[in-house]
Structure 1
């Protein structure tokens, strides 16, 4: 799959909770002592074929998360994909006009 096909396909995401290792422990970590994966992390290298637990282990290792639980894996919806593509197009247009994340404090 080339870059354009990958960008336009509905991508897989994974989410999980992991043990809070902050010191002092975060009071907002719910359930108590655990951080959530939020809206999920994209799987980029075909990890979805490995299954949820194996893919979560790979992602957790990349972010140095420990004691993962409540693993869920899903394919993004058509609406999520369209929103991601719209953001990508806006960022490309901004870069073409010389506006990009590396501007520092210019704005």
Structure 2
């Protein structure tokens, strides 16, 4: 396993799929990173040289919010929405679904999740 940005990356997976294990990087971001670092996306992670791994890590550091920084930003955005009392902020405060889902039968699930998350 390769330990990069507080995440163990699987060595046998293709590079974009392995990069998707980092919180804040998905498959399309992984492919973009490979393209910018001039790395073949079909190459498994264990076949990359140290120079290629360093190039990938530099690109991630410069261009992407990952792990704790991303979580801090999302938490701050939610607090901002709650502070200005917009509809999404009020829905966050009441632990209800935000994006138009029905609440007659399914709001209970969101409330259970929110109870665990905010307590």
**TM score, norm. by length of structure 1:** 0.26
Q: Which has the higher contact order (CA 8 A, sep 6+)?
A: 1
> Which structure has the larger Rg over C-alpha atoms?
2
Q: Which has the higher strand share?
A: 1
Q: Which has the higher helix share?
A: 2
